[in-house]
Amino acid sequence: MRFSVVGGEGFDQGTDALVCLMAKDEKNEQLENILGDALASLRERKVFEGKEGQVSVLPAPDGGGAPKFVILAGLGDEASPESVRCASALAARRARAESLKSVAVSASTTGNGFEAREAAQAIVEGVGLGLYRMGKYKSGDNDEKNEVSRVVLCGGRGRNLSAMRRGVRYGRALCEGTNYARDLINTPSNEKRPPALADMARAMARREGLKCRVLDEKQMARMKMGALLSVNRGSSEPPRMVVLEYRPEGARSQKPIAFVGKGVTFDTGGISIKPSGGLELMTTDMSGAAAVLGAMLAVARSKPRVPVIGVTGLVENMVDGDATRPGDIVRSMKGTTIEIHNTDAEGRLVLADALHYTREKYKPQCMIDLATLTGACMVALGQKVTGMYGTHDELLGRVRDLGERTGDRVWHMPLFPEYGEAMKGKLADMCNISGARWGGANTAAAFLQHFADETPWVHLDIAGPSHTGKADPYRPEGGTGVGVRILAELAMGWKRLTPQEGKAYGC
């Protein structure tokens, strides 16, 4: 898809359609002049009043370079990055459904509330994320081959076009990162077993100019990553750990920020096997790793000033004569011994070693991990909200604010000391599940806290929002790529953290 930026209102761009994003009861004289009574009539009949979610397509009168259709999309009460993303996505999807190939989007009125760069970024995110689909497993020619291939953003008279171009460039990087993560999540597990997924990450790193290191089973065994390795014992394929590095010129000596992802390419539950209903969704249990890889792609293209490390632990949790048994005790890279009482609580074992490795090797300024960690987090927050935990108030605040800004909503959850107490082992130092029935997302987070140790850390439990069975305006069914834009935006706006005085709230 090609994006460009021009001045004017977009009536003369020779596109198949002109998209007008309109707030509730917004007046647009120029549009009224062109469409005559049609606009007022739509409003009267309550077909289009600028409400959120409303989209209407109208034929446009002929004229030099005039669009064939006008697509109206409602912003609701006011233009915000989220309402612009949603309206742009719905308009773009409507254009595609009508087999239209090129659209101009009028950005002149969206933005009375916010600046040109941000408005352009939000339009690109809406279009780029809303039009995502993974068609490669469908054979033959069908409707799903129609694509919108050209999008022209029109800045009106007053808009700063170079600021809009910056917004377009950055918005594209965020879409490409998110859609890359979605592709990985939507790839079936038979095509993304750990070595294959590591190869895909390596190929991406090469294309994007990122440094890439892939640790194999022997190297991980030498580093004594007993927790991570125990999860993969039932698999007929070996595990991998992929480490990507982004180092900007002139910041070589600065400590990096680190993103760490759970990459369980399929989670059967292991010997503590899961019930069969819905098991096919466990192909998405590598969404944390996908978010980290997608964020690294977005980082490589948007070039923040801070170095960034992306670490993913890739394993397959299978059932086998050699699989880890409930009751087994393993030793993590940190030296902590862990009793495995439930082989389905495997993500925390992968992250225990991935977090410790990242901390030891890179001494990062902070670590953010993402994982489809617990069903309990979905019980607490529903399917659309990420559970956020952490040990550094300022970092937690930044991630919470980015959750609001990006539309990938997060909610701060507690790490009270009793959750850590509940993870103590009987024979070993720790147990991989708590004895208590309740608060499973919190006790899982407390387990991770032990391995994040003193490094400022945030954990995002994305079990709910990692995939969706029902499309949102800019999240088609399947993997959502949740977290990619939060991570990339965190890197882009990075400022040094002030050291935490005392414990974080709730720790």
Q: Per rule CB under 6 A, is residue 316 in the interface with ligand BES?
A: no
Q: Per rule CB under 5 A, is residue 347 in the interface with Zn ion?
A: yes
Per the CB < 8 A criterion, the answer to whether 164 and 107 are in contact is yes
C-beta closer to ligand BES: residue 470 or 495: 470
Which of 9, 26, 245, 267: binder of ligand BES (CB under 6 A)? 267
Residue 119: half-sphere exposure toward Cβ, Cα within 13 Å:
27
SS3 352: helix
Which of 9, 208, 217, 344: binder of ligand BES (CB under 6 A)? 344
Q: Per rule CB under 5 A, is residue 369 in the interface with Zn ion?
A: no
> DSSP string covering 241-306, please?
EEEEEE--TT-TTSPPEEEEEEEEEEE--TTSPPPSTTGGGGGGTTHHHHHHHHHHHHHHHH--SS
Tell me how many degrees the CA angle 407-412-417 measures, rounded to the nearest 5: 160
Of all residues in the shown chain, the one whose CB is closest to ligand BES is 375
CB neighbours (10 Å) of residue 40?
A: 11
Q: Per rule CB under 6 A, is residue 413 in the interface with ligand BES?
A: no
Task: Take residue 450 and report the two structure tokens written for it.
Answer: 């032990």
Q: Who's near 495: CB < 8 A, 6+ residues apart?
A: none
375 touches, from ligand BES, Zn ion, none (C-beta below 5 to 8 Å by class)? ligand BES
Q: Per rule CB under 6 A, is residue 234 in the interface with ligand BES?
A: no
Which of 167, 239, 313, 440: binder of ligand BES (CB under 6 A)? 440
433 touches, from Zn ion, ligand BES, none (C-beta below 5 to 8 Å by class)? ligand BES
C-beta closer to ligand BES: residue 263 or 347: 347
Beta-strand relationship, 386-390 and 308-317: unpaired
b/e per residue, 251-280, with b = 16+ CB within 10 A? eeeeebbbbbbbbbbbbbbbbbeeeeeeee
DSSP state, residue 400: H
C-beta closer to Zn ion: residue 245 or 344: 344
Choices 162-170, 200-208, 327-335, 341-349 (CB under 6 A): range interacting with ligand BES: 341-349
Active-site residue, from 348, 359, 398, 475:
348
- Tell me how far apart the alpha carbons of residues 85 and 91 are, in angstroms, rounded to a whole number: 10
Q: Per rule CB under 6 A, is residue 248 in the interface with ligand BES?
A: no
Phi, psi angle pair for 85, to nearest 5° = -60, -50
Q: Per rule CB under 6 A, is residue 425 in the interface with ligand BES?
A: no
423 touches, from Zn ion, ligand BES, none (C-beta below 5 to 8 Å by class)? none
Q: Per rule CB under 5 A, is residue 461 in the interface with Zn ion?
A: no
Cβ 461 to ligand BES, closest distance in Å?
A: 9
Cβ 53 to ligand BES, closest distance in Å?
A: 28
Per the CB < 8 A criterion, the answer to whether 180 and 294 are in contact is yes
Q: Per rule CB under 6 A, is residue 339 in the interface with ligand BES?
A: no
138 as an active site residue: the answer is no
CB neighbours (10 Å) of residue 405?
A: 16
Amino acid at 69: F
Active-site residue, from 274, 301, 361, 384:
274
Task: Take residue 269 and report the two structure tokens written for it.
Answer: 């539950």
Q: In the range 262-281, which residues lie near Zn ion by CB under 5 A?
A: 264, 267
- Tell me how far apart the alpha carbons of residues 5 and 26 are, in angstroms, rounded to a whole number: 24
Amino acid at 80: S
348 as an active site residue: the answer is yes
Which of 235, 312, 358, 374: binder of ligand BES (CB under 6 A)? 374
C-beta closer to Zn ion: residue 50 or 239: 239
* Start-to-end CA span in the chain (Å): 46
Fill in the per-residue mask, 375 to 394: x = in contact with ligand BES (CB under 6 A), - = not in contact.
Answer: xx------------------
- Say how many residues touch Zn ion, by CB under 5 A: 6
Q: Per rule CB under 6 A, is residue 285 in the interface with ligand BES?
A: yes
Choices 90-98, 371-379, 473-481, 499-507 (CB under 6 A): range interacting with ligand BES: 371-379
DSSP state, residue 270: T
Per the CB < 8 A criterion, the answer to whether 488 and 399 are in contact is no
Task: Take residue 390 and report the two structure tokens written for it.
Answer: 């952490």
Name the residue among 299, 197, 224 with its Cα closest to residue 258.
Answer: 299
Q: Who's near 442: CB < 8 A, 6+ residues apart?
A: 389, 413, 414, 415, 416, 419
Residues that bind Zn ion (CB under 5 A): 264, 267, 285, 344, 346-347
Give catalytic residue positions: 274, 348
- Contact residues for ligand BES, defined by CB under 6 A: 267, 285, 342, 344-347, 372, 374-376, 433, 440, 463
